[in-house]
Amino acid sequence: MYAGYPEEGDECPEPGCTGHLGFPKVENCSCHISAPCHACVNSVLTCDECGWEDDSPDEKLVPLVTGKPVLEMFEHKPRPLDSTKIDWRDQMHSGCSMKKVGVYPVGTTMEAVRKEVDGTFGGHFESFGGGKFVFIAYTD
């Protein structure tokens, strides 16, 4: 038996049942188009013997931290960029490109930075100067 919420492989919580919990084979999966698909995400733990299904609330997915708003718990805090080397963060840009926002040591040439951040199919600088750059890398 489990303590708290059921997990895959646990014994069935139904009294008298000796089955185990698992995720059934998903029907109508469309992950090949856009993963994860609705069918896969909404699959629930099911007993392989009696058919019991987990109806636990989805709140189990949200960590409970007292005194902190939920949005604060998931706030993204990127690492600081290191200006002693060519360093950048990738950001989404479009379906076929990536935005690279970064820093470089003063005196580094544009060609040296391009060599590090260039996309599969090239790219271009939106800005370059003062130790900072924004580069659009063509990836597809």
Q: How many CB atoms lie within 10 A of CB 137?
A: 21
Quick check: 71 pLDDT over 60?
no
Where b means 16+ CB within 10 Å and e means fewer, 92-120 reads eeeeebbbbbbbbeeebeeeebbeebebe
Q: Residue 46 forms beta bridges with which residues? A: 22, 53
Q: What is the pLDDT of residues 13-69, one digit of tens each?
A: 889 999 998 888 888 888 888 877 888 777 888 899 998 888 765 544 444 455 555
Domains in the chain: boundaries: 1-62, 87-138
| Whether the model pTM is above 0.85 | no
pLDDT of 73 higher than 80:
no
At residue 69, the pLDDT reads 52
